[in-house]
Amino acid sequence: MKPTAELFKAYLKCATKCWLLSQGAIGEGNAYADWMKAQNEAFHTVALRRLQETVPENERVIAPPHNQGDNLKAARWRLAVDIEVSADNAVSRLDSVGRVESNGCGRPAQLIPSRVTSRNKLTRDDRLLVAFDAQVLSEVLGYDVDLGKIIHGNDHRTLRVHTAGLLGEVRKSIRKLAELIASGSAPDLVLNRHCGECEFRDRCRKKALDNDDLSLLGGMTDGERRRLRSKGIFTVTQLSYTFRPRRRPKKLKDKRDKYQHSLKALALREKKLHIVGNPQLKIDGTPVYLDVEGIPDRDFYYLIGLRTANGDASVQYSLWANSAHQEIQIWSDFLGILSGIASPVLVHYGSYETTFLKRMCERYGHPPQGSAAANAINSAINVLSFLFAQVYFPTHSNSLKETASFLGFICGVRPG
| Per-residue pLDDT reduced to its tens digit, 22-32 | 999 998 878 88
- Do 59 and 112 lie in one domain? The reply is yes
Q: pLDDT tens digits, residue range 312-359?
A: 889 999 999 999 999 999 999 999 999 999 999 999 999 999 999 999
**70 or 301: which carries more pLDDT confidence?**
301
pLDDT band at 254 (very low <50, low <70, confident <90, very high): low
Does the pLDDT at position 33 exceed 90?
A: no
Query: What integer pLDDT is reported at residue 414 of this predicted model?
Result: 44
Query: Average pLDDT, whole number, for the chain?
Result: 92
* CATH code: domain of residue 138: 3.90.320
State which residues form the domain around 61.
5-183
CB contact at 8 A, 16 and 189: yes
- Do 112 and 198 lie in one domain? The reply is no
Q: pLDDT tens digits, residue range 154-200?
A: 999 999 999 999 999 999 999 999 999 998 889 999 999 999 889 99
Query: What integer pLDDT is reported at residue 416 of this predicted model?
Result: 42
Residue 41 resides in a domain: yes
- Do 149 and 167 lie in one domain? The reply is yes
- Do 212 and 102 lie in one domain? The reply is no
Helix (H) or strand (E) holding 23: none
Does the pLDDT at position 293 exceed 50?
A: yes
Residue 69 resides in a domain: yes
Tell which of 158, 183, 208 closes a domain. 183
CB atoms within 10 A of CB 230: 8
Residue 403 resides in a domain: no
- Do 44 and 91 lie in one domain? The reply is yes
- Do 209 and 229 lie in one domain? The reply is yes
Burial of 5 (C-beta count, 10 Å sphere; 0-12/13-18/19+): buried
Residue 142 resides in a domain: yes
Query: What integer pLDDT is reported at residue 42 of this predicted model?
Result: 94
For the CA atoms of 141, 147, 151, 152, the dihedral, rounded to the nearest 10 degrees, stands at 130
As for how many domains the chain has, the answer is 3
Does the pLDDT at position 94 exceed 60?
A: yes
- Do 318 and 347 lie in one domain? The reply is yes
- Do 92 and 204 lie in one domain? The reply is no
Report d(CA 168, CA 191) in Å as an integer.
27
pLDDT band at 65 (very low <50, low <70, confident <90, very high): confident
Query: What integer pLDDT is reported at residue 413 of this predicted model?
Result: 46
Residue 405 resides in a domain: no
pLDDT band at 141 (very low <50, low <70, confident <90, very high): very high
Does the pLDDT at position 257 exceed 90?
A: no
Q: Full-prediction pTM beyond 0.75?
A: yes
* CA nearest to 191, candidates 199, 181, 201: 201
Does the pLDDT at position 138 exceed 60?
A: yes
Query: What integer pLDDT is reported at residue 415 of this predicted model?
Result: 43
Spatial neighbors of 360 by CB under 8 A, at least 6 apart, are 301, 331
Residue 60 resides in a domain: yes
- Do 224 and 165 lie in one domain? The reply is no
- Do 43 and 160 lie in one domain? The reply is yes
Q: pLDDT tens digits, residue range 241-252?
A: 999 988 777 766
